[in-house]
Chain A
């Protein structure tokens, strides 16, 4: 069951530029999370934003959430080559049995060129 959809699928920028990735979802949520995955490695949690929050910062990361538009954005400022990775959003979703779980989008592949 697909809940979050990231956009764009791929993004290539130069070092020092900002990178913006978007996530749209279909149903109401309690929270939305962003994860990072280096090629072939495990996902690493970046930030969680609750449905009653509009913006959150962590270092060079800025996440916004617009529940009226059912969308979130992840901004990485002053990007570095080491930021090259895939970025996923995950939203909580209730399945047919009523159980809550996290559902991941397909990710945005970010390439930061030195």
Chain B
């Protein structure tokens, strides 16, 4: 089954404690991206990757890092989380950068 899997689905952490949200896709897609969704602000792109070892900033990259060492994986790293990073995060993949996006189920992060 074609899918994008992200973990953890729910996480409560404290300010400054590094965390990683993993994302994996099994569709051999070139493009992967991370979004955050906040009430009233919609879906905003954090980072995206066009292929292995190729990443670029989206609209709201501050406070986040990503890596793309393998085609299927695209982890999102919060080196020093802060409360304003409390949000619902989505990983997505697609065959080309403006084609149909396949989303993961989301990771709800709370930073205290």
Report A's interface with B, CB cutoff 8 A: 1-2, 30-31, 33, 35, 40-45, 48, 88, 90, 92, 97, 99-107
Are the CB atoms of A42 and B42 closer together than 8 Å? no
Partner of A43 from the list B41, B45, B101 (CB cut-off 8 Å) is B101
Contact status A41-B100, CB under 8 Å = no
Number of interface residues of B (CB under 8 A): 26
Pick from B43, B58, B99, B105: contact of A88, CB under 8 Å? B43
User: For chain B residues 57-110, which have a beta carbon within 8 Å of chain A?
Assistant: 58-59, 88, 90, 92, 97-106, 108
B98 to chain A, nearest CB (A): 4
Across the A-B interface, give the 9 residue pairs with the lowest CB-CB distance, nearest first.
A42-B103, A106-B42, A92-B98, A104-B43, A43-B103, A45-B100, A42-B105, A100-B98, A42-B104
Q: Bound complex: CA of A101 vs CA of B40, how far in Å?
A: 21
Residue of A nearest to B91 (CB): A42
Complex contact A104–B102 (CB within 8 A): no
Q: How far is the CB of B29 from chain A (nearest CB, A)?
A: 13
In the complex the two chains form, is B97's CB within 8 Å of A101's CB?
yes
User: Which chain B residue has the least Cβ–Cβ distance from A31?
Assistant: B98
* A85 nearest CB across to chain B (Å): 13
Q: Give the distance to chain A from B84, nearest Cβ to Cβ, in Å.
A: 19
B42 contacts which chain A residues (CB < 8 A)?
A: 2, 88, 104-107
A-B contact pairs, 18 of them (CB 8 A): A1-B59, A2-B42, A40-B88, A41-B106, A42-B103, A42-B104, A43-B103, A45-B101, A100-B97, A101-B33, A101-B48, A101-B97, A101-B98, A102-B97, A102-B98, A104-B35, A106-B40, A107-B42
Knowing that A97-B56, A101-B97, A102-B97 are A-B contacts, what are 17 other residue pairs whose CB atoms are under 8 Å apart, sorted by A's residue number? Answer: A2-B42, A30-B98, A33-B101, A40-B88, A41-B106, A42-B104, A42-B106, A43-B43, A43-B101, A45-B101, A45-B102, A88-B43, A90-B101, A99-B97, A101-B45, A105-B42, A106-B42
CB distance from B63 to the nearest CB of A (A): 19
The answer to whether A102 and B101 have CB atoms under 8 Å apart is yes
Give the chain B neighbours of A42 by CB distance below 8 A: 4, 90, 103-106
